[in-house]
Structure formats: structure tokens, C-alpha cells
Amino acid sequence: MQINLQDHVPTISIGGRPICNLRFADDIDLMGGSNGQLLDLISKSTALVHLEGTCTAEVRIRIARATASMASLQKIWRSNISFKTKYKLYHSLVLSTLLYGCETWTLMADTEKRI
């Protein structure tokens, strides 16, 4: 997102300081000074929520990527590394891949069960 916004000239300021730092995807509405600028910024961003209001496709993609991450670590899972270290690796490499963007998901009961 930062790469997409590198040429953007902020139009909103607080105390003379321009606001151009995004912490969350929905902060983009603070950066557009007009409807045209806002539409331009939105077109440069990546949407994590499907237009139908559900995130079934995104969850499937996340599950597939987490499964691939898990599979790529097979040598580690079979090694003599301690369970504690394996758990930390699982948490940081697999679980984080699965849950990336989950705070924006609108889940249906069947999708939640898949997770």
C-alpha cells in the first residue's frame, strides 16, 4: 500500500502536519480530499472483503497458503527440535499466514468451521 501511495500528496492535515500514514485499510478515507482523489486511492488498494459481503474465497486462499506453509516445514516437524520451538514456528509461520486480514472477515458459520 505504501508503494501505491508514494506519489500521493496529502490534503488533510492536523496542526499543519499532513496526514499520510495508513494504520488500517479503512483509514484511506481520511486521505482523500475529494471524491475523485478517494476513488483513485481506493483503486490502488487491495480489497480483502468480497463484494458480496462474505469472505469465503479469501478464507479458502488463506487456508491453502497456511497448508502450503505447513507442508514446506515437513523437515522441521520431523526433526529433533523441541516441541516448544516447533510451536513457535507454527504460530509465527503457519497461523499468521492463515489469519492474515482476519479482522476484516465477515464469516458465515460454515466458513468459520473450516478455519
pTM (predicted TM-score): 0.55
Domain of residue 7, residue span: 1-46
How would you label 8-43 residue by residue, b for 16+ Cβ within 10 Å and e otherwise?
A: eebeeeeeeeeebebeebeebeebbeeeeeeeebee
Residues 28, 68, single domain; the answer is no
Q: Is the pLDDT of residue 102 over 70?
A: yes
Q: How confident is the model at residue 27 (pLDDT cuts 50, 70, 90)?
A: low
* Percent of the chain whose pLDDT exceeds 70: 57
The pLDDT of residue 104: 78
Residues 32, 70, single domain; the answer is no
Residue positions counted in the chain: 115
Residues 92, 66, single domain; the answer is yes
The pLDDT of residue 12: 65
Residues 60, 110, single domain; the answer is yes
Residue 51 falls inside a structural domain: no
The pLDDT of residue 17: 74
Q: Is the pLDDT of residue 36 over 60?
A: yes
The pLDDT of residue 76: 93
Question: What span, in angstroms and rounded, lies between the C-alpha atoms of 58 and 21?
Answer: 26
